[in-house]
Structure 1
Amino acid sequence: MSQYIKNSRIFFGILLVSMSLFLIVVVGYAQTLKSYKAQTREAILAQAEVAKLNIEQILNSGVPLQEIAGLQTLLAPIADTDPSVVDIRLTSGELELYRYTNVVIEGNLVSIPLSNKFSVAGSLEILLSDAPIKGLVDSSFSVMLWVALILIALFVWSIAIQQSGARYLKSFSVVFLTMTLLVVALVSVLLKQSLENKAVAMSDIISHRIAPIMQEEIDPSLVVGLDEMLADFISTNNEVASLTLNVGGERVAYSADEAHSQWLSQLATYESTNSLGNSTSISFHPEVLLEQLLRVLKSFAILFGGCAFVCFAFVKLLSREEKQPKRENVLDKIKALLLMTVLMESLMAPMLPEYIEVVVLNAGYSGLTASLLFSFYFLGFTVTLLPAARLADFMDSRQILIGGIVLSAMGSLALIIGDQLSMILVARFVSGVGQAAIFIAVQHYILSHSNQENKTQAAGIIVFCFNAGFIAGAAFGALLVDMIGVKGIFMLSALIGVSMFVFAQWLPTQLGTKTLPNASSKYRLLKYGVKTMGQDAKRYIAQSAFLRALLLVGAPAKMLMTGVVFFAIPLVLAERNIASESIGQVLMTYAIAVLFVSGKVAPIIDKRGDAKLALCLGNVFSAISLVVLGIGLQSSSDMLVVSFSSVSMLILGLAHGLINAPVVTHVINHVPSSDESTAASTYRFLERFGHISGAILVGVFIRYFGIEMGFFLLAAAFSIFGLLMYLLDGEKLAEAKS
């Protein structure tokens, strides 16, 4: 290996390790910051809710809000004990009754209405700042940057000793996993610290509430209502199991949740003592805390999985041996490139439907217009497949690939430039055209650089990259949208396109197998291709087995993927104010299921030689997933909605894993051997119209029948499709082949 190649591999190795470690730190930082903010805000709002209960008790007794005394004692402790609270104001109409500070400070305003027996009497306004939380998390994660530098140095030292493919892969894996474990440990410590801070803040507030009693030297045992005050704190903090107030070493008040387990709660008990000598013992439900911790770690694990997909796709290029066959090298490059181009589109999946609907509604149009605009991506994808496939026979596939990347990046940039309906329409159509060109070019590269030795690996590249790219993209998009905003996600998508444009320059040229015709011949060629596809479609549609597979299985499955997974789920969950992170995780559940099931089902279908049962089961599972989704969306609990949606997507992923590849097998099993290739390509083209109509049809069902009933009716339709497929598709394969 030449010195130039060695140096370049070291340089790109350092670059890849640096970006990978930085990505892990960013993922951990963003997850921790979001969780820490949520924990702190919950604690503050819980204390505000206690203050609200106390004020409303007085209001309900007939005392006007303006005449309530002791507001300073009641409200000031909320700000005194938590630096995130920068101001508190109590108002009644236009009259300001209490203000914590007169300094003008910016922050996030939370308004809590205060009601008496008859109407709203005023409001409690709390101004929150994220700066103290961000400063704490920043200082903690700054250590990780030094750790990253040390790990990079260790990586360089390792590969400097021995430059081999195996050494690159092992060194990268050790560094990557080490950084991951350290970040996970830091995330766990910070979350535990936020819980302790919450306990201390709660203890301080309780101490402030009883401070006037202590200052007057009143015997606390003579004071009525202390147990009820602690009960109010427990009722507004579902993770608190019990509260104990001690004065002078003696217990004067105690309250516990009905489900309180004394033994278990001792595992998570915090005690705080203030300057007056009062102590508060707070016991938490361990299972609630564990659930919160597992939820955060689950999110991080999913995000780490996305990081791993991306990083290991590229590190394989560095870890290749010098004598690796050229075709395997090209396939490794194609795999990394396709994964990233899918990721650049999937970044927008969790928030794009909501973004489009907001623009549509602001323009004065109905929600159905949003589904129409959303479908323009799939329209652009479908109408480009045939021309791109014909051009790939005569042109350099690398040119088509680069052109597709440019168009896809331009589509993302167009979403940044303006939010007019016409701009969104053009942007989505152009993105669809670009992604179709990428797909066709990648397919030509795979076919040209695969043989009997790596045929299986090559065939799985598109399936793997589509699902892995979708998983990583949905994870990153859902997490980063809270940090950089929707426009920032569009810009990030475009930047990935630019980087893939540069990366594509390292691919070899891939000339077509036919002579490039002149301009007029190109037009005639395209016209001939469209005419041929039309004739093939007319011929195969006349065959009952082909038509049944298309109308009862393939097209409906694609309709569900675009209409439910990509459009309805993000939109419906966003309208219920479900966090974008949770929406991304729901979508990823679908892709993970498809990725897992597809690899397991294909060998079974090949062994059986018949895909009919798999297709019928796929429709049945599709119906079940829609029923589960409809039931889940009827719940008022956000946690149940997310849980049911995830289960629904898991089942739908299982269904589509039973359909995606087997349906093509079913089609070609019912045509002569000489027609297999033509039948498969014609079917795949016609199946795309399910993509185009998906968002529109699902949007119509939701609009006219309601969300839940719309999904139930779709479930009924898929049950009928599965039954018809089972009863009507009875041709013998041997007869069809003959």
Structure 2
Amino acid sequence: MSQYIKNSRIFFGILLVSLSLFLIVVVGYAQTLKSYKAQTREAILAQAEVAKLNIEQILNSGVPLHEIAGLQALLAPIADTDPSVMDIRLTSGEMELYRYTNMVIEGNLVSIPLSNKFSVAGSLEILLSDDPIKGRVDSSFGVMLWAALILIALFVWSIALQQSGSRYLKSFSVVFLTMTLLVIALVSVLLKQSLENKAVAMSDIISHRIAPIMQEEIDPALVMGMDDMLADFIQTNEEVASLTLTVGGAQVAHSADSEHSQWLAQLATYESANSLGNTTSISFHPEVLLEQLLHVLKSFAILFGGCAFVCFAFVKLLSREERQPRRENVLDKIKALLLMTVLMESLMAPMLPEFIETVVSGAGYSGMTASLLFSLYFLGFTVTLLPAARLADFMDSRQILIGGILLSAVGSLALIFSEHLSIILVARFVSGVGQAAIFIAVQHYILFHSNQENKTQAAGIIVFCFNAGFIAGAAFGALLVDMIGVDGIFMLSALIGVGMFVFAQWLPEQMGNKTLPNASSKYRLLKYGVKTMGQDAKRYMVQSAFLRALFFVGAPAKMLMTGVVFFATPLVLAERNIASESIGQVLMTYAIAVLFVSGKVAPLIDKRGNAKLSLCAGNMLSAVSLVIIGLALQSTSDTLVVVLSTLSMLILGAAHGLINAPVVTHVINHVPSADEGAAAATYRFLERFGHVSGAILVGFFISFFGIETGFFMLAACLACFGTLMFLLDGEKLAEVKS
């Protein structure tokens, strides 16, 4: 049996490493393909834009479009110099004036209007295909699969020599980092290659333009407008710093971007010569390549962070020592399972608000309906907490956990059928119910399997797994959505649920500490639990300290988390056409800040015994973050929007790190010691209604006042709450228990 366990651990270790390396290759492939397509399309459209400028110059002189001569010489080079161009058409109304090929070809059609002084005279249509680009990238990434196989073999060899915890962690880290560096190196080479290809394409189009002059053996120095032709290319290609045309060793034309320094451009200069003796020298602004490389590095940094949380949780489980106590083994399993179930939901976070908005708009409903629909998940979560907690008192927590996983997986899978709004309504509610059941079952496992030796570790599992799972899920969802689509993300979420369903079978049974003789007793217990919670709520709601903590701090914080972080921010950034990976990055910073600040603040609060200043500071920082994101959305620069939104989420995460745990400390400091448990449980339950109302209230603010003003109004409310909390709460530095 011991040998079987060892072999099983090796097998799952190989599976984990294989999935991690595969994810690195997939993300690198997707980023490269995306950048390659963008570079190629930009080059083609730049050539088309130059052709458009030439045609419109003639149109503005009064010549009708159908009377313009030399269209073949002007347009054919666009298709001749790039295999991605399948066809070119020039039309005027219903009349086709030029067609590159008469073959019927499928592809992406780009239409460019052509105008004279008074109206649109026609259009230039270009049919593009991604197949040639995909073929190039596919052939380059084939070698990465072999590299992955070699690294997997090295991992197996390493852990076969010694199956210790440190060996698992070191081997995995080395393999993961090596694969990441290999893919980054390949992506860098391909990006540089795509820039070179763009330079060659531009050089070819320039050579085609001057070919008639060279064929007639006219001295290029006598031809007027050569510099202007090069200037047109620079005007339509912002990344080009300068263009120089040399014929027979003599420079005949030159144009440069006078707004930027040309010194650095010498570092990214490409020369291309043809059979006629023409040489075109093209210099790019080096920051273009650097910006693309940094974008790729940012994506891999996001990926590495997500994989680090997920993989190291499982690696630690797989690399556990033979004599590890059973309690620690169960907690390690619970940590991995909870992290992955949180990841199931957060995988959809970067695109779910936009998806819901699109479905609601397609059904003919207003934007407020989208916020109501988004809140159904949190409503399902909230109303399930108490019944699930009572059921866990007399049922096997593993069965509750498995049921919750299945409900969450079904909820994710149902979103694929997005044409039915009613299905989405049910799916989101069911997902909330499932996640609440998982939360309660995990909580029971943690309480049962923790003791004085691992009490601190056990208490931090839920906080760590929620934030780490959110970071990983947002990272994976943002990076993969462009490749597998929104439906693919929903399917992946469901598949993770299936995997966690299987994983949960390895958990031990965890029966509740109460036994009931018949089914009616179960109902009475549930009814009693609801009645008790209602009585506790009624009792504490008349206490001013409890009300201040709930309405001035706790509920607004939860409202901002669901309404701003999960709903409004991804939605408004998507409406600005911000890339999905950038949206994921923005959301990740929130969870990272919460995770970091919570760990630093909690010991200080415990030491001082006072949480008032922390809560007030959290509210003020929340207000600052809302002001920043409101200002960010007023900017016309997408880069500035992303930077400021990231800063805003970082500050909001820090603010919530100052609130999440200290607010419970503040509540229980104002009740007798015997009531601490009931007060904390009642507060946490009532606080959840901030989750439910978050998207609705934030949606109302931004719909009624406008996006930017809505955020400013919310900031004013949070600042007022913080001020009132500071002025009205008269606790001293060292609070005295009654």
Bin the TM-score by the shorter chain: over 0.9
Paired with 1:478 and 1:693, the residues of 2 have a C-alpha distance of 26
The one-letter code matched in structure 2 to 1:430 is: V
TM-superposed CA distance for 1:418, in Å, is 4.5
Q: TM-score, normalised by structure 1?
A: 0.97
- Structure 2 CA distance, aligned partners of 1:626 and 1:690? 17
Letter in 2 for 1:464: F
Q: Distance in 2 between matches of 1:469 and 1:378?
A: 17
| 1:377-526 to 2 correspondences below 5 Å | 377-526=377-526
Q: How far apart, in 1, do the equivalents of 2:36 and 2:596 lie?
A: 34
Instruction: Indicate conservation of the 8 Å contact 2:191/2:289, yes or no.
Output: no
SS at structure 2 position matched to 1:394: coil
8 Å CA contact 2:360–2:367 kept in 1: the answer is: yes
Distance in 2 separating the partners of 1:538 and 1:703:
34
**How far apart, CA to CA, are the structure 2 residues paired with 1:501 and 1:173?**
27
* Residue range with higher mean Cα deviation, 416-425 or 309-318: 416-425
2:416 counterpart SS class: helix
Map 1:140-539; keep pairs closer than 5 Å.
140-539=140-539
- CA shift for structure 1 position 383: 0.3
Distance in 2 between residues matched to 1:56 and 1:623, nearest whole Å:
52
TM-score between the two structures when normalised by the length of structure 2 = 0.97
Gapped regions of structure 1 (runs ≥ 5): none
| Percent pairwise identity | 88
Distance 1:261 1:106 in 2: 43
Aligned to 1:610: 610
Distance (whole Å) between structure 2 residues aligned to residue 137 and residue 698 of structure 1: 43
Aligned to 1:104: 104
- CA positional deviation for 1:353: 1.3
- In the aligned structure 2, how far is the partner of 1:49 from the partner of 1:685? 60
In 1, Cα distance between the equivalents of 2:162 and 2:463?
A: 35
Q: Which moved more, 1:548-557 or 1:67-76?
A: 67-76
- Confirm or deny: 8 A CA contact 1:589 1:646 kept in the other structure: yes
Partner SS state of residue 417, structure 1: coil
CA distance in 1 between partners of 2:461 and 2:585 (Å): 23
**Between 593-602 and 496-505, the greater mean CA deviation after superposition:** 593-602
Q: Which moved more, 1:45-54 or 1:728-737?
A: 728-737
CA distance in 1, matches of 2:659, 2:108: 48
Q: Return structure 1 stretches of 4+ with deviation > 3 angstroms.
A: 732-736
Pairwise CA distance, 1:683:
0.9
Match of 2:664 in 1: 664
Moved more, 457-466 or 724-733: 724-733
Measure how far apart 1:699 and its partner are.
1.1
- What SS does structure 1 have at the residue aligned with 2:511? coil
Rounded Cα–Cα distance in structure 2 between residues aligned with 1:735 and 1:132: 71
Deviation of 1:517 after TM superposition, in Å, equals 4.6
What is the aligned partner in structure 2 of residue 731 from structure 1?
731
8 Å CA contact 2:669–2:735 kept in 1: the answer is no
1:568 aligns with 2:556: no
1:635 partner letter: S
Distance in 1, Cα, partners of 2:114 & 2:585: 37
Q: For the residues of structure 2 that align with 1:127 and 1:326, how far apart are their CA atoms?
A: 64
- What one-letter code is carried by the residue in structure 1 that aligns with 2:156? V
CA contact (8 A) 1:31 1:300 kept: no
Q: Is the 8 A contact 1:230 1:254 kept in 2?
A: yes
Deviation at 1:733, TM superposition (A): 6.5
Distance 2:120 2:588 in 1: 43
Find the aligned partners of 2:226 and 2:614 in 1 and give their Cα distance: 65
Matches of 2:596 and 2:53 in 1, distance apart?
Answer: 51
Q: Once the 2 structures are TM-superposed, how far is the Cα of residue 735 of structure 1 from its aligned partner?
A: 5.9
- Output the amino acid matched with 2:655: A
Q: Deviations over 1:102-134 (max 9, x none)?
A: 111111111222222222222222211111111
Could you tell me whether the CA contact under 8 Å between 2:621 and 2:651 is conserved in 1?
A: yes
Q: Is the 8 A contact 2:89 2:126 kept in 1?
A: yes
In the alignment, which residue of structure 1 is the partner of 2:686?
686
- How far off is 1:483 after superposition? 1.8
Q: Distance in 1 between matches of 2:3 and 2:329?
A: 20
Kept in 2, the 8 Å contact 1:24–1:307? The answer is no
- The residue matched to 1:323 in structure 2 has which SS? coil
* Residues 32-51 of structure 1 aligned to structure 2 (within 5 Å): 32-51=32-51
Distance, in Å, in 1 between the alignment partners of 2:88 and 2:693 is: 52
| Residue type at the aligned position of 1:638 | D
How far does residue 50 in structure 1 lie from its aligned partner after superposition?
A: 2.1
Are the counterparts in 2 of residues 31 and 296 from structure 1 also a CA contact under 8 Å? yes
Aligned letter for 2:364?
G
Q: Deviations over 1:349-384 (max 9, x none)?
A: 111111111211121111111111110000000000
Comparing 600-609 with 697-706, greater Cα deviation is found at 600-609
RMSD between aligned residues: 1.6
**CA deviations over 1:171-216 (Å, ceiling 9, x no partner):** 2222122111111111111111111111111111111121122112
**8 Å contact kept, 2:397–2:510:** yes
- State the shift of 1:136 in Å: 1.1
Q: Tell me if structure 1 keeps the 8 A contact 2:564–2:695.
A: yes
Q: Is the 8 A contact 2:608 2:733 kept in 1?
A: no
- Whole-Å Cα distance in 1 between the matches of residues 214 and 516 of structure 2? 94
Equivalent pair of 2:609/2:735 in contact (CA under 8 Å): no
What is the SS of the residue equivalent to 1:118?
Answer: coil
Task: Kindly state the Cα deviation for residue 456 of structure 1 after the two structures are TM-superposed.
Answer: 2.1
- Name the amino acid aligned to 2:258: E
Partner Cα separation in structure 1 for residue 580 and residue 137 of structure 2: 21
State the 1:342 CA deviation. Answer: 0.8
Structure 2 Cα separation of the partners of residues 93 and 578 of structure 1: 35
Counterparts of 1:662 and 1:199, CA distance in 2? 59
CA displacement 1:387-410 (0-9 Å, x = unmatched): 111111111111110010011011
What SS class does the counterpart of residue 434 from structure 1 fall into? helix
Stretches of structure 2 lacking an aligned partner (at least 5 in a row): none
Q: CA deviation at 1:46?
A: 2.2
Aligned length: 738
Which secondary structure does the structure 2 equivalent of 1:381 belong to?
helix
